[in-house]
Amino acid sequence: MENHLKLTYSGVLAKYGELLDIPAHTQPVTLLEGNTPLIPMPRLAQELGGGFELWVKFEGMNPTGSFKDRGMTVAISEAVGRGVQAVICASTGNTAASAAAYAARAGRRAVVIIPQGKVAAGKLAGAVAYGAEVIQIDGSFDDALNLVLEISQHYPIALVNSLNPYRLEGQKTAAFEICDVLGSAPDWLCLPVGNAGNITSYWMGFKQYQDLRHTGLPHILGVQAAGSAPLVLGHPVEHPETVATAIRIGRPARGEQALQAAEESGGRIMAVSDDEILAMQRQLAASGVWVEPASAAGLAGLKHELLAGRLDLKGQRVVAVCTGHGLKDPDIIVRQFTAPKMLPAELAALEDAIMGGGRK
Ligand SMILES: *Cc1c(COP(=O)(O)O)cnc(C)c1O
């Protein structure tokens, strides 16, 4: 039995806990997050001009459908280890679902504060399904964040927004996994940038592995949506707008660190249009990988730079991080299609529709 348990994958804390800067009181709460597939994408690489190797790190395969689970397992494990009975976050998206799931796993309360305005039901479904207490306030996301911060400072309720440093520690594990699978860091890593915690974590992770295992360092291409690109514009965006809701953030909490990561790595942070994001979402799906819009931004940026002749990838290895699953945002897809047409339940009608009348 013991042997069997050792051979079984037990989540990112069990696998990489020694490499994370976390307190000794941490008490693992896991849903076996991490260990996500690194999928080779030879056809997509060809479509983008060829001559390089391309993989997708499909983070949508985490337990709640996004990479947020890597950080959340660590944040909740730390909170539970110091006796916290409840966690709180401000979110309308993947953070809420992940916090709700890990709190449920630990048998703790999860409180999710959502801002006033149009709330995407699909994105909140997870939080509700896992039993979180969802409270809406008559204010913005920034108001919500300020309030949860205040509450977490005055009550034994742990803040699990990405201001929580353990979230970043957990998210480093994706960089470790990529190096472990490829045997070294890729030449380029591209990924979407919203609040900028993830790009910061990847860079921390790659640098740590380079120090320990000499796995090399990638250039990092961080990609924002044009309507929500504070790091490209150089100033906060008051009313960010993009279909890629997971990166619709006008004041990134880790903006400085993200810019530094991009620069230190010899990469950059750029922006792409919503059309480019949706086109790449379709192009990825055409190779069998369906991701939510934000998750296609990294590759959309890579494609943009290749088309502009600003990137020479000859003979290089590229990893694109696809941060969340397409099922998170089905409305985007449904909107792009007309309803399926209705035919009589008759063979002839179907044959006609499928084979264009020609019986072969
Ligand atoms: C949170 C999230 C992002 C943005 O990550 P940051 O760390 O905020 O930059 C991108 N894609 C998905 C699917 C997310 O859930």
pLDDT digits (tens, 9 = 90+) for 207-225: 999 999 999 999 999 999 9
Question: Nearest C-alpha to atom 1 of ligand 1 is from which residue?
Answer: 246
Please provide the DSSP assignment of 143-212 as one string: HHHHHHHHHHHHSSEEE-STTSHHHHHHHTHHHHHHHHHHSS--SEEEEE-SSSHHHHHHHHHHHHHHHH
Hey, which residues does 202 pair with through a beta bridge? Answer: none
| CA nearest neighbour of 131 among 156, 102, 167 | 102
User: Which pLDDT score, from 0 to 100, does residue 29 have?
Assistant: 98
Rounded Cα gap, residues 332 and 244, in angstroms: 10
Q: Does the pLDDT value for residue 280 go beyond 70? A: yes
Q: What is the mean pLDDT of residues 151-175?
A: 96
Rounded Cα gap, residues 49 and 247, in angstroms: 27
Q: What is the mean pLDDT of residues 142-160?
A: 93
Q: Does the pLDDT value for residue 358 go beyond 70? A: no
Task: Give yes or no for a contact between 209 and 175, defined as CB atoms under 8 angstroms apart.
Answer: yes
Q: What is the mean pLDDT of residues 234-243?
A: 93
Question: Nearest C-alpha to atom 8 of ligand 1 is from which residue?
Answer: 195
Please, which residues have CB within 8 angstroms of residue 77's CB and are 6 or more apart in sequence?
Answer: 13, 22, 26, 27, 28, 29, 30, 166
Q: What is the mean pLDDT of residues 174-178?
A: 98
Please tell me the distance between residue 39's alpha carbon and the centre of ligand 1 in angstroms: 20
For residue 323, which phi and psi values (nearest 5 degrees)?
-75, -25
User: Which pLDDT score, from 0 to 100, does residue 142 have?
Assistant: 78
User: Which pLDDT score, from 0 to 100, does residue 188 have?
Assistant: 98
Q: Does the pLDDT value for residue 102 go beyond 70? A: yes
Which is higher by pLDDT, 141 or 114?
A: 114
Please tell me the distance between residue 245's alpha carbon and the centre of ligand 1 in angstroms: 9
Split at pLDDT 50, 70, 90, the class of 117 is low
Split at pLDDT 50, 70, 90, the class of 1 is very low
For residue 6, which phi and psi values (nearest 5 degrees)?
-70, -35
Q: Does the pLDDT value for residue 186 go beyond 50? A: yes
Q: What is the mean pLDDT of residues 217-237?
A: 97
Q: Does the pLDDT value for residue 70 go beyond 50? A: yes
> Among 28-37, 81-90, 314-323, 331-340, which is the least confidently predicted range?
331-340
| CA nearest neighbour of 175 among 205, 147, 199 | 205
Rounded Cα gap, residues 120 and 333, in angstroms: 14
Hey, which residues does 317 pair with through a beta bridge? Answer: 53
- The model's pLDDT over 56-67, given as tens digits with 9 standing for 90+, comes to 999 999 999 999
User: Which pLDDT score, from 0 to 100, does residue 125 have?
Assistant: 87
| pLDDT-above-70 percentage for the chain | 95
Given the DSSP bridges, would you call strands 53-58 and 38-40 parallel, antiparallel or unpaired? antiparallel
User: Which pLDDT score, from 0 to 100, does residue 151 have?
Assistant: 96
Question: Nearest C-alpha to atom 2 of ligand 1 is from which residue?
Answer: 246
Rounded Cα gap, residues 265 and 218, in angstroms: 6
Question: Nearest C-alpha to atom 14 of ligand 1 is from which residue?
Answer: 246
> Among 15-24, 83-92, 295-304, which is the least confidently predicted range?
83-92
- The model's pLDDT over 299-326, given as tens digits with 9 standing for 90+, comes to 999 999 999 999 999 999 999 999 999 9
Please tell me the distance between residue 26's alpha carbon and the centre of ligand 1 in angstroms: 25
User: Which pLDDT score, from 0 to 100, does residue 325 have?
Assistant: 95
Mean pLDDT of all residues belonging to the chain = 93
Q: Does the pLDDT value for residue 3 go beyond 90? A: no
Atom of ligand 1 nearest to the CA of 60: 13
Please tell me the distance between residue 1's alpha carbon and the centre of ligand 1 in angstroms: 38
Please tell me the distance between residue 264's alpha carbon and the centre of ligand 1 in angstroms: 21
Residue 165 has, within 13 A of its CA and on its CB side, a CA count of 5
| pLDDT-above-90 percentage for the chain | 83
The two structure tokens encoding residue 151 = 């509450």
Which is higher by pLDDT, 338 or 284?
A: 284
Ligand 1 pocket (Cβ < 6 Å) reads: 66, 68, 93-94, 192-198, 246-247, 292, 294-295, 323-324
Split at pLDDT 50, 70, 90, the class of 329 is confident
Please tell me the distance between residue 292's alpha carbon and the centre of ligand 1 in angstroms: 11
Please, which residues have CB within 8 angstroms of residue 65's CB and are 6 or more apart in sequence?
Answer: 94, 97, 126, 324, 325, 327, 328
Rounded Cα gap, residues 18 and 15, in angstroms: 8
